[in-house]
Structure 1
């Protein structure tokens, strides 16, 4: 394989990855809050909107691992990431141009298919570069969380000024910047292409034991993501206060990503997972029992641990996967460990909240309690430094 020339030798590798994460998560921050409003503006009924979103999620679960396997087989995931982001730049515009349920359903499935590998491939490349070049993965990943907040604010202003469809063009621009950032990533030596297939990551005990932990801990956020705002509105909190509570959680997450490397080094992957499970148990117990604003403000700080600590722990495990399996492992983890579990739990969260209201958060706390003993199984499967710093 010929030696690849660095396309952007002046810009430091950490900054290039920070720009990559900032661009792609800006697109997420624009679409996540407002895509349902765009679909409603295009004339879809609530049932049709749910069908479009569910179909997109199903396609994502299937497409991400398949494309990740292909990236490992090719041997240079940068090219796959660049192509995926470039295609997503165009497919997302279909949400603004498409008319009718059938057309928008097709757009959603196509966009989900090409966009599915962008985040996990970015993680895989950033982890490989951080190991080789010695920079802090969490610090560059914090750029994505920060841009998510800013993009959501900008999108809200755009919707207020120009209507919901404006966010589609903003998202397309963000994805175009993602493709440009992918083009500027530093070349990394590869193992010449992995050929072991989808089963290869499952041969690693640490990978097998990570999946249920991610499913339980990250999946426990389903009720919060789906019904947290509605719950707080019913408790009498104003939209501005609710917005600040959401922002507080992401700001805490950014802080962990920026300054949490010593904690990760000390606790290791299993310790970070245990910290995430304990924080989730406490956080969801608070939300189940009270809507008192000071208690909620304290609980929102725990987002740094319930989400962020689990993410950093998972990245530590995935970063230790054998050469030729990194992209496959990342996409399988994103699809099975996080995506599938979160989707099923989000589906279950509707009836749960309808019957129990805020008390339904006790079920989310229960998921974190189930995760705690599994952290010991992960510790046993890891080499000493990854397990405990």
Structure 2
């Protein structure tokens, strides 16, 4: 239930529901003109190429940098810098795409630049040059998913009974492509030669750039620009909600606890003698669990237990997951805890979305999402930076620090997250 302070804002939100009518009529004309069937296929091609490129490369970037004679501290600096660059570049390039009213062109340009910078990593030598090229690639990749989502969500907006496709179909194909990319590359590379990671990543990004030409254009919707003073007022309003502040803190702690895993799990497993194919299987297992929780398990848990219990369960899963990761490299043990990623990431994200929908007035939803993403991203970047020093000094013990973060998040989630089972049932 929303606070009384926002009762008048609910009326404003209801008045806004009629605003998309012009857009929905435009989209319906777009679908009737013969491009409706092409739309889903084009978007699936775009997302499959884009997320397969992520699946091919993201698990192996730390190991690739290690093969270039970088130490753990330097790897941590590169990965943390890339995260910080994404935090800045994502909204900036997204705003540019809106300003130019050419989302497909900007997306294609970003994918092409990311492919070129990936190839440049093969010839980059030394820490500073690798840092520069990796930062350029991070800036190019940052807006790709958000722009793709802006295109697909607009096209699949459920405003007409005859809508041609659901956004979930596309996002599901993206996750499947990520898993396939990780599994395939695990069979093509060796621990000492990861050049095929670079080439396949670049090729898939070029394919994604080409797929933007197949994506149907969606009619632009003009929206009034908000002044800087109004933006500041909205942020103050949101941060004045105590439970929203706790939501940002809890999500930042639990998402941030993935920093050591994302940066050094592959290195730790490879140094323990685990084969690259097994490494890719372990990584893909986590992603598959994420998909299952998003689609099937998560909504059922939320409806049965509410957002508070779901967030608390995510924190407990993090404590268990990182404690075991700190103490063993047994493939059997790792295979048992990797599915907990479905709880530490996907279930928490669903709980946060349920909380935001319950606490935040409709006209502040976008600002709330931006604060939510920025908080998690900033903390993850900082922890990634320090993870290099933790791992260099303590090895697997660095995972215990991540378990402590989840332990701190647990009582905050229990006391600060609302039980939204009743309020969500009344949501529009």
Normalising by the residue count of structure 1, what TM-score does the alignment of the two structures yield?
A: 0.75
Query: Aligned partners of 1:261, 1:163: CA distance in 2, in Å?
Result: 39
- Residue 346 of structure 1 aligns with which residue? 384
For residue 219 of structure 1, what is the aligned residue in structure 2? 256
SS of 1:132's equivalent in the other structure is: coil
Q: Equivalent residue for 1:173?
A: 203
Query: Equivalent residue for 2:92?
Result: 66
Contact in 2 for aligned 1:8/1:185 (Cα 8 Å): no
Q: CA separation of 1:107/1:238 partners in 2, compared to 1, >3 Å: closer, same or farther?
A: closer
The 8 Å contact of residues 253 and 406 in structure 2, kept in 1 or not, is answered as yes
Name the stretch that deviates more: 343-352 or 98-107: 98-107
Choose from 25, 28, 32 the match for 2:51. Answer: 25
TM-superposed deviation, 1:215: 1.2
Q: Does 1:192 align with 2:249?
A: no
Offset, 1:10 = 4.0
* Residue 114 of structure 1: aligned partner: 140
SS at match of 2:175: helix
Aligned position for 2:423: 384
How far apart are the structure 1 equivalents of 2:121 and 2:63?
A: 11
5 Å-filtered alignment, 1:44-83, equals: 45-46=70-71, 52-71=78-97, 80-83=106-109
* 8 Å Cα contact 1:68-1:331 kept in structure 2: no
Report what 1:228 is aligned to. 265
Distance in 1 separating the partners of 2:283 and 2:36? 37
CA contact (8 A) 1:75 1:194 kept: no
CA spacing shift, 1:86–1:291, aligned 2, 3 Å? closer
User: Within 1, Cα distance between the matches of 2:78 and 2:295?
Assistant: 36
2:418 counterpart SS class: helix
Matched residues in 2 for 1:343 and 1:282: separation? 23
Q: SS at 1:211's partner residue?
A: helix
Distance 1:189 1:273 in 2: 37
1:283 matched to 2:321? The reply is yes
Unaligned runs of 5+ in 1: none
Q: Does 1:153 align with 2:183?
A: yes
Cα distance change, pair 284–129 in 1 and its aligned pair in 2 (3 A): farther
Query: How far apart are 1:58 and its partner, in Å?
Result: 3.0
User: CA 1:269/1:72 → structure 2, altered by over 3 Å: closer, same or farther?
Assistant: farther
2:15 corresponds in structure 1 to: none
Structure 2 distance, partners of 1:255, 1:387, is 26
Write the distance in 2 (CA, Å) between the matches of 1:31 and 1:223: 17
Decide which of 276, 285, 288 is 1:248's aligned counterpart. Answer: 285
> Does the 8 Å contact 1:65/1:331 carry over to 2?
no
Could you tell me the TM-score, scaled by structure 2's length? Answer: 0.70
Flag the 1:280–1:17 CA change in 2: closer, same or farther, 3 A.
farther
Hey, what's the Cα distance between the residues in 2 that align with 1:36 and 1:361? 16
Query: Take 2:53 and 2:267, find their aligned partners in 1: how far apart are those partners?
Result: 24
Change (3 A) 1:367 1:153: same
Q: 1:72 and 1:175 mapped to 2: Cα distance?
A: 22
8 A contact 1:139–1:257 mirrored in 2: no
How far the C-alpha of 1:217 sits from its partner, in A, is 1.1
Q: Is the 8 A contact 1:219 1:338 kept in 2?
A: yes
What residue in structure 2 maps to residue 368 of structure 1? Answer: 406
Alignment equivalent of 1:142, drawn from 133, 147, 172 = 172
Return the offset for 1:189.
6.5
Q: Which residue of 2 aligns with 1:92?
A: 118
Matched, 1:274 2:305: no
Structure 1 residues 152 and 382: CA distance shift in structure 2, 3 A: same
Q: Secondary structure at the match of 1:67?
A: helix
Does the 8 Å contact 2:79/2:385 carry over to 1? no
In structure 2, distance between residues paired with 1:36 and 1:238: 16
Whole-angstrom CA distance in 1 between matches of 2:107 and 2:390: 38
State the Cα deviation string for residues 256-276 of structure 1 (Å, max 9, x = none): 234346427626665543332
